[in-house]
Amino acid sequence: MSRIGIFDSGVGGLTVQRAILEALPSVDTVYLGDTARVPYGTKSADTVTQYSLRNARVLARHGIDLLVVACNTASAVALPALRAELAVPVLGVVEPGARAAARASRGGRIGVIGTQGTISSGAYQAALRAARPDAEVVARACPLFVPLAEEGWTDPDDPVVRGAVARYLAPLHDARIDTLVLGCTHYPLLRAAIARELPEVALVDSADAIAAEVRARIGEENGREGAHAFLVTDTPERFLAVAGLFLGRTVTSAEHVDV
Amino acid sequence: MSRIGIFDSGVGGLTVQRAILEALPSVDTVYLGDTARVPYGTKSADTVTQYSLRNARVLARHGIDLLVVACNTASAVALPALRAELAVPVLGVVEPGARAAARASRGGRIGVIGTQGTISSGAYQAALRAARPDAEVVARACPLFVPLAEEGWTDPDDPVVRGAVARYLAPLHDARIDTLVLGCTHYPLLRAAIARELPEVALVDSADAIAAEVRARIGEENGREGAHAFLVTDTPERFLAVAGLFLGRTVTSAEHVDV
């Protein structure tokens, strides 16, 4: 049975794990949430790369066959360093998400939203242009979306949510994009509010895209339900309080690790 | 000439440094912003205490005479550990802020707002009751205020700002507080929006309160303008981009340190 290591800056990557488990219910997983250093999206590429390497070293000691970088910001800046150091394959969410958007787009007018770090890196923009050279790409950082999602303020009728979503998405609306990549693990929680602001636009979730890629690599594995372990760098209580919401199944224990 | 060490989770503590320099223009300062691990307000007391100790050790090597903990969350949870380890006096912002609020309050109905970590710790609530045993204290965490301030969304006429402020402050309004402690370094940036929501309420900024306490300890020092050094744990660029806004004077260089 394959064992997949997954890391993220915090709990958001559990939405990626959820998509992977829907595609491959029998794989084993070890998830590391760097909850003591979250968020990554506001920090420099150097710092995010150092944190990513430390996370990957912990997961490598758990005998993983494949490493999935669930965090968009880490995927955008740290893949070369991770691939140089690790003996197992390393997959990030940026390229699968960009390829899915390139396929989904009718007219090639593609938007991408993410953290400051993800958007500043230009990684999605480059991956979209590589996957579809005729694409017109409009990128926008939406720093308030993560705190809104973590606060549970996601109702499309909430005037605070509506106001923030409208303000960030205005340039994408004006550019008449036909497809939008939700380039952060938290953004699917705001999908309804985003869809209301951009009703004609196809929304692409990188979690689904990477799950399809993991399935293509590992292949279907029949057998028992997979076993899942959770590691966190801050104390486990807050992680456990919200993990079920992101993963869509109960998480009863998580181990504290120093990285 | 005295040299004061100041640390904060990021740039917010520069508002505390600003208040100290207004009170004592000739002291030397060394400021450490833990920008690689910011924010502290969402993390556990254990993790915030560990980070605070590491910050303090770096500052102790700079020959400081006094340590000011500018971060409300660190002040709320880490003072005992810092005082046990450091050879110099350690001042936090919670007790001076609570005493200033206790003095300012006419009727003893005192509110306090801060991060999740600050409010959960109960430190302000305890300090307010110690300073004024008859006080009725209402506390509320406002997780969106820091990202709003960092995004520059602080205009009281902005519907997103108005909506978020009204929602968080509703229980304080209903409790008819007469005084409110702004228990986070970022919240003074939202002072106008908070004042519009609670027009009859006295707003207390802990930065002013601790500046008065530092001045009482060190006394007036005549002489040249003080010298100021800045240390950050993430790369300096983003810190330098916004430091001037928080400090009210130009910051031209900051040194990266590993803690």
Q: ipTM of this predicted complex? A: 0.93
Identify whether A142 is a catalytic site residue.
no
Band (B118; pLDDT cuts 50, 70, 90):
very high
Q: What's the sign of the alpha-carbon dihedral B94, B165, A144, B242?
A: negative
Interchain CB contact of A167 with B (< 8 Å): yes
- Output Rg (C-alpha) for chain B, integer angstroms: 17
Interchain CB contact of B228 with A (< 8 Å): no
Q: Which residue of B has its CA nearest to A237?
A: B44
Q: Which residue of A has its CA nearest to B9?
A: A37
- Smallest CA–CA distance, residue B160 to chain A, in Å, is 5
User: What kind and span of H or E run contains A145?
Assistant: helix A145-151
DSSP 8-state class, residue A175: T
- What's the CA gap between A111 and A206, in Å, rounded? 13
Taking CB atoms and an 8 Å limit, are B47 and A36 in contact across chains?
yes
The per-residue pLDDT for range B213-253, each reduced to its tens digit, is 999 999 877 778 899 999 999 999 999 998 998 899 999 99
Taking CB atoms and an 8 Å limit, are A46 and B160 in contact across chains?
no
Interchain CB contact of A170 with B (< 8 Å): no
- What's the CA gap between B128 and B134, in Å, rounded? 9
The per-residue pLDDT for range A103-153, each reduced to its tens digit, is 999 999 999 999 999 999 999 999 999 999 999 999 999 999 999 999 999
Contact B19, B81 (CB under 8 A): no
Check pLDDT > 80 for residue A221.
Answer: no
Taking CB atoms and an 8 Å limit, are B37 and A42 in contact across chains?
no
Taking CB atoms and an 8 Å limit, are B43 and A234 in contact across chains?
yes
Percentage of residues of chain B with pLDDT beyond 70: 100
Band (A58; pLDDT cuts 50, 70, 90):
very high
Q: How many CA atoms lie within 13 A of A229 on its CB side?
A: 14
Interchain CB contact of B238 with A (< 8 Å): yes
Per DSSP, the three-state class of A152 is coil
Residues of chain A positioned with their CB less than 8 A from the CB of B258: none
Q: Which residue of A has its CA nearest to B147?
A: A144
Q: Domains plus CATH for chain B?
A: 3-92+209-256 (3.40.50.1860), 94-206 (3.40.50.1860)
pTM of the model: 0.94
The per-residue pLDDT for range B18-65, each reduced to its tens digit, is 999 999 999 999 999 999 999 999 999 999 999 999 999 999 999 999
Terminal CA-CA length for chain B: 27
